[in-house]
Amino acid sequence: MTTMALSAPYDPREAPAIRWGILGPGSIARRFAAEVTAFTASRVVAVGSRDVSRAQQFVDQHLSLPDGPHAHAHGSYEALVADPEVDAVYVASPHSLHARHAILALEAGKPVLVEKAFALSADQARSVFEVARRQNLFAMEAMWSRFLPQYTVMRDLIESGELGEVHAIVATHAQSLNLDPAWRMMNPSLGGGALLDLGIYPLSLIHWLWGTPQSISATGVKTSTGVDLRENITCQYGDRLAVAYTDMATAARNGVQILGTKADLEIPQWFYTPQDMVLTPRAGTPRLLATGVDGGFQYEAAEVARCLAEGRTQSPFMTWDATVEVLTMTDEVRRQMGVVYPQQ
């Protein structure tokens, strides 16, 4: 196998510097804070939680320099979004609260980057974007994988014709998670289930490459609490098929295969994280495409900074329509499986 070194499409360090506020100091926020600090010119200047001691602990552990903390700890989300030093808010609360918290920030005049899944449903997402439109403010889903170098290379290869006619996409995201009935992933009132935490990644990838499908067929299994445990989702695009499998009880390698008439493109494992890819021609030697990078979250953060500097309210890489369309896909999967979130 030969190796081809590929450079990233842009350097996140070259994006303008902005000051971030983090709403919800959980595990994903820790990674966001670390990678924004390490790989961009921006910095995190404030953290908000319903418990000020939790916010302060986050600051002390993740946002302190040798001479002391360099971020404010707020004991409410309202105080965070009102902080005059915050240029943009990263909404990292549970996804059952994303729409509410995004609207809170937007109504306070702050642009938002909202963790995936952006909302529980397409209707909730539309309600957020309506506020962003009214406020003339930037809003974007933090689907970090769309901004990774490998995704740009992936689509460029398809559009260039190097794979020939692409007939199928097969993507898996399955993990062995905590199935305690008391856990949020098992609770329909908290938007639990495999789909919005795990399945959103393969569906977003499929949408990134092919857009909205003509039809969706979903089969799966529900838990005793009424959320989806696992499902197989087939998206049809004329004579092309894309298949997404997701499962929160059984771990997998979590790869993706894109099958063309001239070549196949594969990310063998953890396709939505920074990874190298393998291009296998029908006749010829497989090539390793070196698209892996350190970190990962810096790319979406840099995109926000660039869009704000340009006066945009949407990113061309993750438009409002794209977020709504992917959530329309998940709405249809849940409808077919009979999974209902009571608060919708």
pTM of the model: 0.95
Q: Could you tell me which residue, 7 or 271, shows the higher pLDDT?
A: 271
Active-site residues, by number, are: 116
What confidence score (pLDDT) does residue 283 get? 87
Give the chain as a 3 state SS string. Answer: CEEEECCCCCCHHHCCCCEEEEECCCHHHHHHHHHHHHHCCCEEEEEECCCHHHHHHHHHHHCEECCEECCEEECCHHHHHHCCCCCEEEECCCHHHHHHHHHHHHHCCCCEEEECCCCCCHHHHHHHHHHHHHHCCCEEEECHHHHCHHHHHHHHHHHHCCCCCEEEEEEEEECCCCCCCCCHHHCHHHCCCHHHHHHHHHHHHHHHHHCCCCEEEEEEEECCCCCEEEEEEEEEECCEEEEEEEECCCCCCCCEEEEECCEEEEECCCCCCCCCEEEEECCCCCEEEECCCCCCHHHHHHHHHHHHHCCCCCCCCCCHHHHHHHHHHHHHHHHHHCCCCCCC
When pLDDT is averaged across residues 295-322 and rounded to a whole number, the result is 97
Taking only the tens place, the pLDDT of each residue in 103-140 is 999 999 999 999 999 999 999 999 999 999 999 999 99
> Using CA atoms, how far apart are residues 68 and 121, in angstroms rounded to an integer?
41
The answer to whether residues 245 and 194 touch, using CB atoms and an 8 Å cutoff, is no
Tell me how long the chain is: 344
What confidence score (pLDDT) does residue 251 get? 97
What confidence score (pLDDT) does residue 63 get? 87
Please report which confidence band the pLDDT of residue 337 belongs to, taking 50, 70 and 90 as the band edges: very high
Amino acid at 298: Q
What confidence score (pLDDT) does residue 64 get? 74
When pLDDT is averaged across residues 222-239 and rounded to a whole number, the result is 97
Taking only the tens place, the pLDDT of each residue in 65-92 is 655 557 999 999 999 999 999 999 999 9
What confidence score (pLDDT) does residue 67 get? 55
When pLDDT is averaged across residues 286-306 and rounded to a whole number, the result is 95
When pLDDT is averaged across residues 29-57 and rounded to a whole number, the result is 96
> Using CA atoms, how far apart are residues 122 and 124, in angstroms rounded to an integer?
5
Query: And the tokens for 44?
Result: 């995190």
When pLDDT is averaged across residues 313-325 and rounded to a whole number, the result is 97
Other residues' Cβ atoms within 10 Å of the Cβ of residue 163: 23
Mean pLDDT rounded to a whole number for the chain: 94
What confidence score (pLDDT) does residue 1 get? 55
Other residues' Cβ atoms within 10 Å of the Cβ of residue 190: 18
The answer on pLDDT for 22 being more than 90 is yes
The answer to whether residues 123 and 318 touch, using CB atoms and an 8 Å cutoff, is no
Other residues' Cβ atoms within 10 Å of the Cβ of residue 79: 16
Please report which confidence band the pLDDT of residue 178 belongs to, taking 50, 70 and 90 as the band edges: confident
Cα distances from 322 to residues 56, 168, 207, 327, in angstroms, run 36, 21, 8, 9
Q: Which domains does the chain have, with CATH numbers?
A: 9-144 (3.40.50.720), 149-292+321-337 (3.30.360.10)
What confidence score (pLDDT) does residue 125 get? 98
Query: And the tokens for 323?
Result: 């977020």
Phi/psi of residue 85, each to 5°? -85, -10
What confidence score (pLDDT) does residue 343 get? 72
Weakest-pLDDT range from 6-15, 16-25, 302-311: 6-15
The answer on pLDDT for 97 being more than 80 is yes
The answer to whether residues 71 and 59 touch, using CB atoms and an 8 Å cutoff, is yes
